[in-house]
A and B are shown apart, each in its own frame.
Chain A
Amino acid sequence: MAIKTWELDSGFKDEIMSEPGGENLTKCFQCSTCTLGCPLTEIVATYNPRKIIQMSLLGMRDEVLSNPDLWICLICQTCTARCPQDVRIADLLSAIRRVAEKEEKAGRLKIESHRPLFDKAFEHQLAKYGRLYDMGLAMEYYKGKEGGSFFKGLLTMSKDYKDFGMRMFKKGKMGPKAMFPEKVKDRAVVKKIFAEFSEG
């Protein structure tokens, strides 16, 4: 695919670099150490963080933000540990994901991956309780996955987690501490943190 130079967005790299974690984007000199060491490439052969970086540097905004591979990074930090240029690739990819989420919020992009939905559901548990409530997280996530239907979500979740739930129950891991949320006492301050630092 030839690059259409007239469609390049020269401001894209600055947009990424202004997100926390994206600061070192322009340090990349394309050595490909990141991709060569990435454990994902053995499972998803086309996965290529170096290429995502080069496309970002060139300003291929739409192609980068709509790339489904953005959402499968494991944040394992292998790339970050090995990059000779301190690009901090794992953080950089996270910064690009946040740009994509903003784009979706503005109605200009549709993200196919369920990962933003999951991350948001996770964040909502923390904002509410200050701690992770697994059941609440799973319910909200499955509801979202099933187009907002609580019952459909519950059904799919029960199907996916029947064996796992039973296994945990047998090991005594499904007691009240798992069934009900553990709450931080000082939720007022947790609320303040989210009010200040979360996009909601």
Chain B
Amino acid sequence: MSVTKLAYYPGCPSETTAMEQEMSTKAVFEKLGVELVEVEDWNCCGAAEIEDPKLVHALNARNLAIAERAGLDIVTPCSICYYNLERANRALQEDEGFRAKLRGIDPSLEYKGTIKARHILDILMNEIGEAELSSKVVKKVNLKVAPYYGCYIGRPPTTAFDDPDDPVLMDKLVELIGGECVPFSQTKTLCCGGPLMMTRADIAFAMARKVLEAAKNAGADCVALACPLCGMMLDAKQPDIEAELGISIGMPVVYITQLLGLALGIEPNKLGLNKNAVETKEILGRVK
């Protein structure tokens, strides 16, 4: 295992709506012996709402610079944070003029471009690796899982770390911990609708419904995902979607780190499995 210490970028929902992702990420990395050092005084990455790339690059230059001063690559559990951090990283590495401009604005924005931004799924599968993970698995997660990737794991090509049409990293992780992936290729990279949640809930709900119903029709016990916005749409909003559209879904949705944590023998409450909106009790009974 090549990695022992990383700068950790939690992202804004980490202490509120996505606290179970934060809890499970920290618990899993601790169990795996990889130290996560929180990016000191980090700021928001700009999410999907800051549209001007220059502003996104400048905001993330500050986060990247803090991690760089600590001499560490930056890792985040959020797909959107990952996309913003890494696209900013590429833009900054390629543009000495822009870096100089940022230095001029404030010395704390001085970034040399020596680190990388990574997503936790990428670190788990490509740095820690399947052999190491397998050696630490103590329980079998005997579940049928719909592995859901959403947008920024396989897209856009500049920052993607998995296949755009049929990503596999989460599938492999699910199988490694004893689960079975249901056929989900048609749906796994669909958008959850999140960016329109507040301004066009009708469209956002229709998108999320597709993902959830596809999982249900494929016979999944749960959906596994790796992004807090996807978690918001598919889990936290699921009862609203059911009420608004007059349908019943009842599909448990968990973060992939929660499933991995169970396989590593971590207590369900430490993984925040009592925080997911859709009850997870039934799936917990299947971990042996």
B residues at A contact (CB < 8 Å): 12-13, 15-17, 19, 41-44, 46-55, 58-59, 62, 105-106, 108-109, 151-152, 154-157, 160, 164, 189-191, 193-196, 198-200, 203, 206-207, 210, 236-237, 239-240, 243, 274-277
Contact = CB atoms under 8 A, between A and B. Distances in A.
Contact of A173 (B19, B58, B106): B19
B51 A94 contact: yes
Nearest to B201: A160
B119 to A, nearest CB: 15
Nearest to A188: B106
Nearest to B83: A77
A192 interface: yes
Interface in A49-97: 71-72, 74-78, 80-82, 88, 90-91, 94, 97
Interface string A25-39: 000000000000001
B104 to A, nearest CB: 10
B47 A122 contact: yes
A58 B201 CA distance: 33
A186 B198 contact: no
Interface string A112-134: 01110011001100100011101
B156 A198 contact: no
Given A77-B152, A132-B47, A167 B277 contact: yes
A199 to B, nearest CB: 8
22 contacts: A39-B207, A43-B203, A72-B200, A74-B195, A75-B151, A77-B156, A78-B151, A78-B155, A114-B198, A115-B199, A126-B44, A126-B50, A132-B12, A167-B239, A168-B16, A168-B17, A173-B16, A173-B17, A186-B108, A192-B106, A193-B62, A194-B55
A26 B251 CA distance: 45
A57 B157 CA distance: 25
Contacts of B16: 134, 168, 173-174, 177-178
Contact of A77 (B52, B151, B203): B151
Interface string A167-194: 1100111100110001011101110111
Contact of B53 (A20, A185, A196): A20
Contacts of B210: 42
Contacts of A113: 199
Contacts of A134: 16-17
Nearest to A198: B55
Contact of B275 (A39, A172, A193): A172
Contacts of A39: 190-191, 207
B63 to A, nearest CB: 10
A74 B191 contact: yes
A154 interface: no
A114 B199 contact: yes
Nearest to A142: B198
Instruction: State the 3 A-B residue pairs at the shortest beta-carbon distance, nearest first.
Output: A76-B191, A122-B49, A77-B155
A164 B237 contact: yes
Q: How large is the interface on A (under 10, 10 to 19, 20 to 34, 35 or more residues)?
A: 35 or more
B50 A130 contact: no
A7 interface: no
Given A76-B151, A123-B49, A134-B16, 16 more contacts: A39-B190, A43-B206, A74-B191, A77-B155, A78-B191, A97-B51, A115-B199, A115-B200, A119-B51, A126-B44, A126-B50, A131-B12, A138-B198, A178-B17, A189-B62, A196-B105
A126 B47 CA distance: 11
A190 B43 contact: yes
A13 B51 CA distance: 19
A40 interface: yes
A168 B200 CA distance: 22
B240 A164 contact: yes
Contacts of A173: 16-17, 19, 275
Contacts of B236: 164, 167-168
A45 interface: no
A189 B151 contact: no
